[in-house]
Structure 1
Amino acid sequence: MRALVTGRQMKEIDAYTIHTIGIPSLVLMERAAMAVVKEVKRLAAELKGKEAGQVRIWSLCGPGNNGADGVAAARILCLEGYQAEILMAGDPGRQSDECKVQLDIARHVGVVVREWQRAKGESCDILIDAVFGVGLTRPVEGDFKECLVMAAESGASKVASVDMPSGIHSDTGAVMGAAVKADVTVTFGWEKAGTVLYPGRSYGGRVVMADIGLPSQALAVVKKNGTGEYMFTCDEKDLKRIPGRPAYSNKGTFGRVLIAAGSKNMCGAAYLSALAAYRTGAGLVKLLTVEENREILQQRLPEAIIDTYTAKQLMEEREKFERMIEEQMSWADVVVLGPGLGREPYVEYLVEDIMTSAHVPVIIDADGLNTIAAHPYLTSYYTESITITPHLGEMARLTGESIADIQENVAAAAKAYADRYGITCVLKDAATVVAGKAAGIYINSSGSSAMAKAGSGDVLTGIIAGLIAIGMEEDAAVMGVYLHGRAGEEAAKLKGQHSLLASDLADCIGKAMKQV
């Protein structure tokens, strides 16, 4: 797992490195500038028919240390023969000491420095965006907003942002009024949460994490001090944490998954969750569904055990039904509750019976969540073994907040709900967030827009359940979300961005797990 940091945390890391470790800020700045130069030269090489001396580069710089990085990068590029010049934004009287030093050096070696307004109507080949760094916390207005608009109209074929795309909040990924859209973002030390969360992720382009000499102990100190939430994401090597399959084993070794899902003529969600649980490695999967679904589910997934009930039994034979549910709970190692259940009156009783009888991990999704939203007393049955997997609409119904308010800070919304009830919350979005028992907040970096299809969430619940079944309870939600995204990437390669179906996701789980 790799760490993600907020703007405040990054500032504290810088301060610790400079004042406690003793590495001068100008040394760090020079290394940062060299990292930016490396990527700008790579972009320049992609410009067909232009030698270095023909490539016009603007370094658009703010008055802070982010701007100072941009000034230093322009100076290095100019000395290497590129047509690099510096466009300054902001009040000169508010320039940081480092920015002033870098500007003096640039002028002494002959780099052109001028105000950004003087470039209006002109154009460049490559734009270096160094207006704002990680410290932006308020909307971009006035001259700065005009400056970012000019950057968008500069005609640049390529854009390289320094640390963060200017105008993107480094913690939430929100567009703060106006923002630069980069082809590459060169970030220092650790990636910022704002380039993993949307919409910031769509503005950052290819994110390059540059080592400029920030010591890992600086991050450890910030984590220990508890400044803000610790956030992280996964990459391919984390797949090795998924348990292997011992040679001496049987189907019982790999756990029993019970999936309470499906209503009359709505068995697709049940099928997809069960298929995904099996593909992830579960040894036994049982579907608890209405009688009308028995035949089709037996045909579609003969590997699954099918137990059924009727709405009449559930409503009119309460004691008998509750005993049946208790028996089902004693059989299961993990329960999925909700996919495709519908919103008939009997569903409330089913959800309550399972939540009160389960002594194993329960994953609640879809209509299970809608039922809880409609009957808030059901939250009293939440335990630390419960994982919920709402999309933004379901989260809005659970919390009473608007989707727009939740989108402003998806990570904070997931964390607040998880902390309030002591559960794990998997808040599904283009960059899904997991908050709960694990230390910190997980932000997913896998997947693609090809996965935005009906049934994708049902596959996710099955994957998480399958991971719990094979012995990965503590990190199942995090790894399940990451694996789900990887399966989506593999399926998109086979089916294309438009043609992927949820069943393709399930069928590609094995390929996504190839590192296990």
Structure 2
Amino acid sequence: MKDLLNAAEMKAVDQRSIEEYGIPSLVLMERAALEVVKRARELLEPGLSGNEALEHGPGRERLLKERKRKTVWAVCGFGNNGADGAAAARMLTLQGFSSVILLPSLEGKRSRELEVQLSIAEKLGIPILTLGDPLPEACDLILDAVFGIGLSRPVEGVYKELIGLMEEKRQRELVPVAAVDMPSGISSDTGAVMGCAVKADVTVTFGMRKVGQALFPGREYCGRLFVEDVGFVPGDPEQAGEHVHAHGPEDLMEIPRRRADSHKGTYGKILVIAGAKNMAGAAYFSALAAYRTGAGLVKIMTVEENRSVIQERLPEAVLSSFDPQWASEEPGEFKEYIRSQTGWADAIVLGPGLGQEEYARTLVEAVLSDAYVPIVMDADAVNLAARYPYLKGYFTENIILTPHVLEFSRLTEKPVEEIKEDPLAAAREFSDQYGVTCVLKDAATVTARKDGKLFINLSGSPAMAKGGSGDVLTGVIAGLLAMGMDDCEAASLGVYVHGLAGEAAEKKYGVHSVLAGELAGCIGEVVNGNV
């Protein structure tokens, strides 16, 4: 598990390292600049191998001549991010490249570290320019070192001009951009574009990944992200639980292993309540994913019309079908039937493809009021709760909701734009209000767990943007629950496993061609440690 830090948390780590432990700020800065230079050279000299050998061998003179023909623009703000950029420009100059430092203006309140770096640059003859000066025609790489993680308000004035200049060079002249710590114009707390922003090819960040680098659109603006250790002293471990988190490959070890002396009952029983008429696929994908994740026994409760499809596609599943008319003609018997089915299960999937007919509302209400095992509530079950708000009165700590943004908007009556602006806050507020775990699905899915922890998912692929992917997710989470995993862990880790399966499916079938069944088929590679 990794911690993702916001701006205030990262500044506290920086301050702690300098003030409490006495690590000089300039030492941290030099190490940061070295990491930026490493990535900058990869952009300036793509495909060049054995750089160090060339520099000290027969090819050194030719290499230096080639480097002198390449010009780096270090676009720097007045803070320590600008100082990082100026230090990197100096290092690139000493390695043979031509560099210029471009400031917002010659006047302005500069950090002490920036003054030091500019003084060194002046002694080395590195041009220090502003937008009012004639700029070099050549530009082979831009170092974006304007704001870093410090931006807290919309970009305007001369800074907007600087970002506009960098973007024009990037778009029209295809000049690559290496961002220092954070692409300028992106909020490090939310990933939002603060009026305008630079789109980087590479971002080199220091210490830990930032929240805004995990959420969209910031995640996309970062390009390839490199998280580098520059010598910060880690924060107080007791405060780690307060950070936003992300799962990593090491967390797959938490998935329960299979024992030699086990049987199907050892790995739990899942009831999938899904699939209206002509929606058999939703029930099938959830059940298939639950089996692929490791569940011992899966029962599908669906309408009679889906029987033949389910029996043909997934004969491993137990089937319990019903006539929807039964709910209106014999409501008491129907509810007793539901009670008997939910009493059998160790975990329940409720809602995929269920429809919003009256019988579906009766079914959802009965399950929410009678079942005490973990319930993964998705799709039409969520839509019914939005349509009939009294159903939210049944929400308790055994429920995991998995709405996508539009469904969450219906459920909370908040505009989609407001939710996307700060999905962490939206999911956290809902989880706190109802005491549930909320998996808010989007390109970067957010999980607000009932234990108070927030997760942003870092796995996944655009190949997963297909019908049925959400049904697969419900099955993955339910499968982890059935095997005995804690419901909070099953929710956040299930999202991560689902995303890894999407990545594996993309490699096999291509980004355009993955189907939900193929996504489910790749779950085994993940849970068995083959990715």
TMscore range, shorter length: over 0.9
Amino acid at match of 1:273: S
Moved more, 242-251 or 323-332: 323-332
Structure 2 equivalent of residue 102 of structure 1: 117
Distance in 2 of aligned mates of 1:471 and 1:432: 23
Superposition pairs of residues 125-136 of structure 1, within 5 angstroms: 125-136=140-151
Structure 2 equivalent of residue 478 of structure 1: 492
Q: Deviations over 1:369-416 (max 9, x none)?
A: 000000111111111110000001000000101111111011111111
Distance in 1 of aligned mates of 2:77 and 2:268: 57
Superposition pairs of residues 203-282 of structure 1, within 5 angstroms: 203-216=221-234, 218=235, 220=237, 223=240, 229-282=242-295
Q: Deviations over 1:9-35 (max 9, x none)?
A: 111111111111211211111111111
Let me know the Cα RMSD of the aligned residues: 1.6
Q: Any gaps of 5 or more consecutive residues in structure 1? A: none
Q: Any gaps of 5 or more consecutive residues in structure 2? A: 49-62
Superposition pairs of residues 288-327 of structure 1, within 5 angstroms: 288-327=301-340
Contact map agreement 2:102 2:131 (CA 8 A) in 1: yes
Contact map agreement 2:129 2:135 (CA 8 A) in 1: no
CA 78–377 in structure 1, closer or farther in 2 if over 3 Å, else same: same
- What TM-score do you get using the length of structure 2 for normalisation? 0.93
Structure 2 equivalent of residue 114 of structure 1: 129
Identity of aligned residues (%): 52
Give the deviation of 1:258 after TM superposition.
Answer: 0.2
Distance in 2 of aligned mates of 1:117 and 1:36: 27
Moved over 6 A (4+): 47-50
Q: Deviations over 1:184-238 (max 9, x none)?
A: 111010010111111111110111111111012x2536547xxxx5111122222
Give the deviation of 1:90 after TM superposition.
Answer: 5.2
Structure 1 equivalent of residue 415 of structure 2: 402
Q: Secondary structure in 1 aligned to 2:108?
A: helix
Distance in 2 of aligned mates of 1:42 and 1:92: 34
Question: Which residue, out of 38, 47, 67, partners 1:52?
Answer: 67
Structure 1 equivalent of residue 52 of structure 2: none
CA 486–47 in structure 1, closer or farther in 2 if over 3 Å, else same: closer
Give the deviation of 1:91 after TM superposition.
Answer: 6.6
Distance in 2 of aligned mates of 1:2 and 1:314: 48
Alignment length (residue pairs): 511
Amino acid at match of 1:140: V
Amino acid at match of 1:344: E
Question: Which residue, out of 160, 165, 174, partners 1:150?
Answer: 165
Question: Which residue, out of 95, 99, 103, partners 1:80?
Answer: 95
Structure 2 equivalent of residue 21 of structure 1: 21
Distance in 2 of aligned mates of 1:441 and 1:122: 47
Moved more, 469-478 or 364-373: 469-478
Amino acid at match of 1:479: L
Contact map agreement 2:505 2:519 (CA 8 A) in 1: yes
Moved more, 39-48 or 441-450: 39-48
Q: Secondary structure in 2 aligned to 1:349?
A: helix
Amino acid at match of 2:442: D
Contact map agreement 1:124 1:156 (CA 8 A) in 2: no
CA 294–221 in structure 1, closer or farther in 2 if over 3 Å, else same: closer
Structure 2 equivalent of residue 334 of structure 1: 347
Amino acid at match of 2:14: D
Distance in 1 of aligned mates of 2:117 and 2:186: 25
Contact map agreement 1:275 1:301 (CA 8 A) in 2: yes
